[in-house]
Structures are given as structure tokens and as C-alpha cells.
Amino acid sequence: MGKLDNKVALITGGGSGIGKATALLFAQEGARVAIADWIEDQAKTVAAEIERSGWAVITINTDVSKAADAERMVAATVRHFGRLDILYNNAGIGESKLLHTMTEAEWDRTIDIDLKGVFLGCKYALPELMKQGGVILSTASVAGIEGIRRMAHYCAAKAGVILMTKSMAMDYAEYGIRVNCICPGGIGTPLFETGYENLTPERKERALKAFTALHLLNRIGQPEEIARTALFLCSDDASFITGQAIVVDGGYTAGHRMLGSAR
């Protein structure tokens, strides 16, 4: 018996990183999975891996920042599988930039994907979830809890996801819908790598070492560790948890350490 037997899960950004790890784990635990991603080849590669194990999966080419795409991904999932039980809003972007050098288009793109994309996914999934109850989960970030240098747009979006999560949990509990989000620390994903792509190899090594040291466990997390948290929150194991921002960050936000202090 799997933890998600007979459940239908729609995962955005399911073609790589946390989304890929979650799609594979959810399928292993009995869910029928819809992978929504704007990079179609990546989604199909993950789907092929799931299909080889005999599990049910579909892919939907989706830009979560567009209402028509969000509506279509929910409709396609329900049309194929007959219902929707879990929405995992995981798609996101993030790039490092000082606010005064940021264009309006760059600000809008981050907000549109990381915050508006969650709104649109929920908007079209909620009528389906309200029929029988279910779960909404979103990927927020420790950047929604405390500031991070050169990431004002990303921090604003992720803070919005956290408060939207709490508000939706209040609004939809009466329909049997639980709403939570995960706040990862540094996770070894393709998105994480983009933050260092413009650095020389030497500067990248120093930056990665310094950032890693900010985590009490002195390492970067892995996508599978977030996927296991997602499985818990979307399963009946978390049946009494709603309206929460679950931090999975290796101790990144535990407290600030003085420079030069002993570990």
C-alpha cells in the first residue's frame, strides 16, 4: 500500500529539481501524476521514467503565469484521470539582481511565475478539490521568511506565497482542503545553480562554500529531501496540518551566528 494510493496529483515544475523528485516519489507511492512544465522535453523524460515502472502519468506543457495555461492543466488532469486530489505549486524561478538595476519586466516575470502562478493554479484547482476535499501544497522558501541579498523580487514573491497559504487554509478548511507550503533552504537543483552561473569558477567555489556554511548541517539539501516532506504533507500522515509554512533548511534560519564563532 502506498501513501497516495488512488490519489491524483498535479505537480507544476515537475520536469526537474524538486518537482521531478516529487513526481517520481508520488508515483511510487501510488498517485497518478500530471506533470506540468514549460520545458516539454524535461517533463516527458520524467514521465518516461515513471511509465517504465508501470505507473500512470501525463505531461502538460504549461506556463503557470498564464491563466489559460493554468486552467488547461487542471482541465487536462481531470479529463484524463477523472478527478484531482493534490495540487503542488512548485514551478518557480529566481535570479540574483540588485533592485535598482532590475527592469520592470524582470520584476514582473518573477512575481508572475513565483506568486501569480500559485494564485492561478489554486484558482482553477479549487473548484475540483472542493468536490471531495484534497491538498494544496506550494514551494515557498526561506527567502519568504527572512531577507536575502540581491533577491528582493524573489523574497517578495515567496513571502506572498506563505501568507496566501495561510489565508487559503482559513477559507477552504470547511471543504476538507488542507493548504500548506514548504520553505526550503539551499537545495541542489538546476534553479539553485543559476544563482552562480555568471561567476568565475574560483568565485563560484568560494560563494558555494560560504553559502553552504550558513546551513548548520554544513551541506546543501537534495531535491529528494523536499520530496519526502511533500509526500508527508500531501498524505494522511499530515491530516491535522494546515495553514503552515514548513521549513526544511538544514538549520539555515535557526539563528544568526557571529563571524568567527566556534561551530
Residues with catalytic annotation? Answer: 154
Could you count the other beta carbons within 10 Å of the beta carbon of residue 53? 10
Spatial CA neighbour of 96 closest among 142, 39, 56, 155: 155
Do residues 102 and 145 lie in contact, with contact meaning Cβ atoms separated by under 8 Å?
Answer: no
Do residues 161 and 138 lie in contact, with contact meaning Cβ atoms separated by under 8 Å?
Answer: yes
Do residues 87 and 135 lie in contact, with contact meaning Cβ atoms separated by under 8 Å?
Answer: yes
The string of DSSP letters for 176-200 reads TEEEEEEEE-SB-SHHHHHTTTTS-
Instruction: Spell out a b/e string for 162-177, using b for 16 or more CB atoms within 10 Å of the CB, else e.
Output: bebbbebbeebeeeeb
Do residues 147 and 101 lie in contact, with contact meaning Cβ atoms separated by under 8 Å?
Answer: no
